[in-house]
Amino acid sequence: MFVLDQVNSVANHFLAQLRDRHIQSDRMRFRRNLERLGEIMAYEISKTMRFKPMDVMTPLGSKSTHLIVEQPVLITVLRAALPFYQGFSNFFDNADCGFIGAYRKEESGHSRQIEVDYLYQAAPNLEGREVIIIDPMLATGKSFAKTVKNLFSKEKPGKLHICSVIAAPEGIEYLNKEIKIPFEIWVGSIDERLNSQSFVIPGLGDAGDLSFGEKR
């Protein structure tokens, strides 16, 4: 598992601004910081990909380099993930992309169990591909787990990355228990815990509302 803030870098500034309740009132800045973290995460993941030698012709000669063999498939969960996804798309700018419609549904009753409704899926062929699933918050892990189950019910990825800005330990534990195919987790920061409503503490609030406004 890769945790971005385990090594000090400028990414800490973007994470801090995302969390700061005063800076959060600037909606454009909030989205831009998610996008920046997506770009940083894409760069880190790119280091693990397969590369091949290539010669590039300049106006004055030839230069040898190494380029990615195949762009990954980017899968994003609507709507909160869109700015974070944009950062990945900026760097993997020729990638195939897929979109998932899923939302958390709180069951009534004493347990207040959180479940996930999975309503929409549009994705390219994933068989043998390197796949990156993108969602800024890894809370209970149920959205990620259900997405993986539905995406790969008939296909098997060559390599699977799960990417989030902020994660709760409970969500990481849930993914390790529920996902039956090999995968790697990439997060910006791991927080303390989930509260009784299954929100990450201290977290940052609702990433979708902060990016696009409160939903009804």
Model confidence pLDDT, tens digit, residues 129-165: 999 999 999 999 999 999 999 999 999 999 999 999 9
Cα–Cα distance for residue pair 56/186, rounded to 1 Å = 32
Q: What is the pLDDT of residue 107?
A: 56
The domain of 72 spans 2-212
Cα–Cα distance for residue pair 132/142, rounded to 1 Å = 17
What are residue 3's DSSP bridge partners? 187
What are residue 55's DSSP bridge partners? 64
For 89-128, the pLDDT digits (tens) are 999 999 999 999 877 766 545 455 667 778 889 999 999 9
Alpha helices in 8-120 (DSSP H): 11-19, 27-46, 82-91
Segment 57-68 shows an average pLDDT of 98
Segment 76-98 shows an average pLDDT of 96
Domain count, the chain: 1
Cα–Cα distance for residue pair 188/9, rounded to 1 Å = 11
Helix, strand, coil shares of the chain, percent, nearest 5, are 35, 35, 35
Residue 13's pLDDT band, with cuts at 50, 70 and 90, is: very high
Q: Residue 174 belongs to a domain with what CATH number?
A: 3.40.50.2020
CA atoms within 13 A on the CB side of 65: 8
Cα–Cα distance for residue pair 80/140, rounded to 1 Å = 16
User: Token pair for residue 74?
Assistant: 């980017």
Q: What is the pLDDT of residue 209?
A: 94
DSSP one-letter code for 4: G
Q: Which residue has the higher pLDDT, 4 or 120?
A: 4
Cα–Cα distance for residue pair 127/213, rounded to 1 Å = 37
Q: What is the pLDDT of residue 43?
A: 98
